[in-house]
Amino acid sequence: MDSIIVRGGTPLSGQIRIAGAKNAALALMPATLLSEEPLTLTNAPRLSDIRTMTLLLQSLGVEVTRMQDGKVIALSSHDLTSTRADYEIVRKMRASNLVLGPLLARAHEAVVSLPGGCAIGARPMDIHVSALEHMGAEIELRDGYLHATAPGGLKGAKVPLRFASVGATENVLMAATLAKGTTRIENAAREPEVVDLADCLRAMGAKITGDGTSVIEVEGVDRLHAATHRVVSDRIELGTYMLAPVIAGGEVECLGGEMRLLQAFCERLHAAGISIEETEKGLKVACHGDRPKAVDVVTEPFPGFPTDLQAQMMAMLCTAEGTSKLEERIFENRFMHAPELVRMGAKLDVQGGTAHVTGVDRLKGAPVMATDLRASVSLILAGLAAEGETRVNRVYHLDRGYEQVEDKLGAVGAHIERVDGE
């Protein structure tokens, strides 16, 4: 397995281009299943998760072509050959469950393995199942697979979500586009990735209102048509690279960044004393001289602080002045990076879903192990602030969510390299 080696102590300077959003693209790609006509996605990220979704869609009969060095994905599902999403593919990635709603809507049947992905606590499928059952689907779990049918097709309904799940909102949103009648999704997720999916579906002919709020209404149509859609910028990659100059010192402009994507995150950085400037091309973040101040963070559904930036924020707070409190309210078991940061000299006290972080003057380089996607990059960020060499092992997680991280950080002055695993 590859490792990333970081030698800290060098301020950063320059520009980093933010890629298209992984979490948006993984919902947009299954939308092709809703129509016999082609769907083209531009500004697509080049990640292993995108390759996994490609394999899954191809196993269903979808034609997938990558163009312009992978940044454009052309999809066509004019001839579906299967409605079964097999375990061998689905186990690699949680977002694989997003084929369930589209398959039910178009083919009126689906057999989908329970999904895999990062081991960051329970992310139950029962929200998806209950939501689709409100629309007339009949679903049972057998041998690790969800066997779903919709005799006569899905029907519009009021669909209350017990939790504002992004995945469940996206599954129902896609399913509702071809359902008979009007579907009202209550307690819907408000994330930018949901809005991006709605924008794409509207371009395909769907009738959707209310996306970006807690209530979305979808009036079903008979068919959807061809469309071209640009994937929204990745707000998690954006937040990650905004933290890089905060941790290492210096100034970085994140090209394609927008404040609206990360309002709560930016508010926490402002409270920590960090300068954020909107430019014509994106967002510029600067940290010269003084250490950031300690701040408290609580992860919440959008528009709150993103859980996918909690690990990176913890890395930053390890060298902040004072003691910070981090509360993880989205996923259980998502502080697995904490023991690795302690190996680097961090002062952390973790109790359940709360971590207290007391900043130190300087972290120390050490060999550490990545446990999940966001933990991987948090350890790389910590390495930027550490004295000596940090070796981050098991970085295969990293390639699921960040394209060419060593090239992007290296271009702004970081001493970072990827080496072959032993």
Annotated binding site for phosphoenolpyruvate: 22-23
| Strand partners for 269 | none
Per-position DSSP letters for 153-197, written without gaps between them: --B--EEE-SS--HHHHHHHHHHHTTSBSEEEEET----HHHHHH
The amino acid present at 303, given as its one-letter code, is P
Give the span between the Cα atoms of 372 and 213, in whole angstroms: 30
Return the biggest CA–CA distance within the chain: 66
Q: How far apart are CA 154 and CA 135, in angstroms?
A: 6
Question: Is residue 229 within 8 Å of residue 40, measured between CB atoms?
Answer: yes
* Residue 118: active-site member: yes
β-strand 215-219 against 282-287: which pairing, if any?
unpaired
Residues 414, 152: Cα–Cα separation, whole Å: 58
List, in order, residues 6 or more apart from 79 with CB less than 8 Å away. 61
* DSSP run (H or E) holding 100: helix 100-107
Classify strands 323-327 and 3-7 as parallel, antiparallel or unpaired: unpaired
Binding residues for UDP-N-acetyl-alpha-D-glucosamine, by number, are 94, 308, 330
DSSP state of 336: T
216: phi then psi, degrees, rounded to nearest 5: -115, 135
Closest C-alpha to 92, from 50, 42, 30? 50
How would you label 151-177 residue by residue, b for 16+ Cβ within 10 Å and e otherwise?
eebbbbbebebeebbbbbbbbbbbbbb
Stated as kind and residue range, the H or E segment containing 408 is helix 405-410
What number of other Cβ atoms are within 10 A of residue 42's Cβ?
15
Residue type, 230: R
Cβ-Cβ contacts under 8 Å for 243 (sequence gap 6 or more): 309, 312, 313, 315, 316, 381
Q: Of 118, 200, 266, 318, which one is the catalytic site residue?
A: 118
Give the catalytic positions in this structure: 118
